[in-house]
Amino acid sequence: MSDRTILIVDDDEGVSESLRSALIDEGYTVRVVGDGKTALSLLRQWEPDLVLLDIWLPDIDGISVLEKIRQEERPIQVVVMSGHGTVESAVKATKLGAFDFLEKPISLEKLLVTIHNIYAMQVLRQENIELRKRVGDAAELIGESRAIADLLEQVRKAAPTNSGVMITGENGTGKELVARKIHDWSLRQSEPFVEVNCAAIPEELIESELFGYERGAFTGATARKKGKFELAHGGTLFLDEIGDMSLRTQAKILRVLQEQQFQRIGGAETVKINVRIVAATNKDLSQEIERGHFREDLFYRLNVIPLYVPPLRERAEDIPLLVTHFLGQIAAQNGRKLKPIDLIVISRLQAYYWPGNVRELKNIVERMFILSTGETITESDLPPLFHDPKESGGSLSGTDELFRKPNLKGAKGDFERVYITKKLEEFGGNITKTAEAIGIERSHLHRKIKNYEIPS
């Protein structure tokens, strides 16, 4: 609502001109129309923050205009005005979603207070939306493991800078949480954090999503739309799954990063920006570069500070903390009493390989909480795959032996050594292909081969 735009719908030229002049003096952008049909036609092309709507209009009455606005589910606040106000019309307008009902002659002081309240409410609503986004469905970076402690220390060092950050890691590990933490701990924390999932937006739409467009730029472009770069001005733009972005879009991103300016689609105006880029991917971009799928110059522009988010199986000691957090979160969301969980369940969760990482853990905990019929979550509430040892670790052979190991570390280490050895054999010892197949970076695979003393 940064443009502070208001539409006045009133056929009394004296009233509308008086209101227009006063509101312009207060810094608002104001347009005036004198009948309902013209107002509805204009609203199909332009979306103001607020409509000041007279009930008595020469063609259709204001209540009908209000009904049309609400039927189209437009996020526009409406203040109804009338020189012949009745309790009945005021009640009807309120039921239809009008913010307020003002009687003529309009008190300018009361009108300005009402408008101020509308904008204050919108700011509060936006802050609540942003807060919900920050809380999200997952946890904060919860954990006391060495892996998480090291990652948080790197985030603390990177956050206060303006350098590009590249976050890598498997799906479900919490790369978005790391990006938000970088923003929250940065000097840009009071400015926008804007996220773009590059894998979820079709190729033909990604440029308009990133750079915005002008009215008439293409069929369906009925009004100007700001892109993600413009919305993130002064703050942080998070490009999630950037490895899925096309080469054409990569070239345009690189140019924007170099020049810190761009033009909206269909526009001639140059939009200057000040944006910090944080990118994330579950792909090995060095491999993507070799294949010609990712620009090397863009990679070096983004990969100034590389951060790696470890998979859950590498920090299984954090699982009890995560489970406790998720149980409290799920109980609160469902308005239900918190249930304790047996230690044997925690042990079984810690022994699992977690291909879906923290996201999968949250889903399992939610399933157990919802479907459990007792006062306590017990081993019987675990999903079927946890009751079949051959499925629990995803290993290729000898899973029963893993469950006879004296501790989790030994079982996990044995599993990874056997699994990596088998995969290396499957791909003829090719490190690049093996790393891609098991979803980790080549450098990370090299470290594991060395740590487990796997013959190469």
Fold of 144-308: Rossmann fold (3.40.50)
The whole-number average pLDDT for the span 376-385 is 90
- pLDDT value for 130: 55
Name the CATH code of domain 312-451 (choices 3.40.50.300, 1.10.8.60, 1.10.3720.10, 3.40.50.720): 1.10.8.60
Of the candidates 249, 233, 229, which has an alpha carbon nearest to the alpha carbon of residue 241?
249
CA angle 406, 410, 416 (to 5 degrees): 145
> Is the separation of the CB atoms in 249 and 401 below 8 Å?
no
Pick the range with the lowest mean pLDDT from 291-300, 301-310, 394-403: 394-403
Checking phi first, is residue 238 left (phi over 0); if not, alpha (psi -120 to 50) or beta? beta
φ and ψ of 303, to 5 deg: -90, 40
The whole-number average pLDDT for the span 188-203 is 91
CA distances from 377 to 110, 139, 320, 328, 449 (A): 57, 20, 14, 13, 38
- pLDDT value for 84: 72
The whole-number average pLDDT for the span 308-329 is 92
pLDDT tens by residue, 336-374: 888 889 989 998 999 888 989 999 999 999 999 999 988
- Residues 229, 234, 239, 245, CA torsion sign: positive
The whole-number average pLDDT for the span 135-140 is 46
pLDDT tens by residue, 60-106: 988 999 988 888 766 788 999 987 766 777 778 878 888 888 888 88
- pLDDT value for 305: 96
More confident: 251 or 97: 251
Which residue is associated with the tokens 């013209």? 38
Average predicted confidence (pLDDT) for the chain? 85
- pLDDT value for 93: 82
Name the CATH code of domain 5-132 (choices 1.10.10.10, 2.40.40.20, 3.40.50.2300, 1.25.40.10): 3.40.50.2300
In the chain, where the domains are located: 5-132, 144-308, 312-451
Of the candidates 449, 447, 433, 454, which has an alpha carbon nearest to the alpha carbon of residue 284?
433
Which residue is associated with the tokens 């589910």? 73
Pick the range with the lowest mean pLDDT from 20-34, 232-246, 333-347, 431-445: 431-445
Assess whether the region 5-132 and the region 144-308 belong to the same CATH fold.
yes
The whole-number average pLDDT for the span 219-244 is 91
User: Which tokens hold the place of 209?
Assistant: 């999503």
- pLDDT value for 136: 45
d(CA 40, CA 46) in angstroms, rounded, equals 10
pLDDT tens by residue, 408-452: 455 566 677 777 887 888 788 888 888 877 777 777 788 788 777
> Is the separation of the CB atoms in 232 and 183 below 8 Å?
no
Strand boundaries in 55-201, DSSP class E: 77-82, 100-103, 165-168, 193-197
d(CA 423, CA 130) in angstroms, rounded, equals 43
Q: How many residues does the chain have?
A: 456
Pick the range with the lowest mean pLDDT from 187-201, 274-288, 361-375, 430-444: 430-444
Of the candidates 169, 146, 158, which has an alpha carbon nearest to the alpha carbon of residue 309?
169
User: Which tokens hold the place of 403?
Assistant: 């469950």
pLDDT tens by residue, 48-63: 989 999 988 999 988 9
Q: What percent of the chain has pLDDT over 90?
A: 51
| pTM for this model (two decimals) | 0.59
Pick the range with the lowest mean pLDDT from 223-232, 303-312, 335-344, 433-442: 433-442
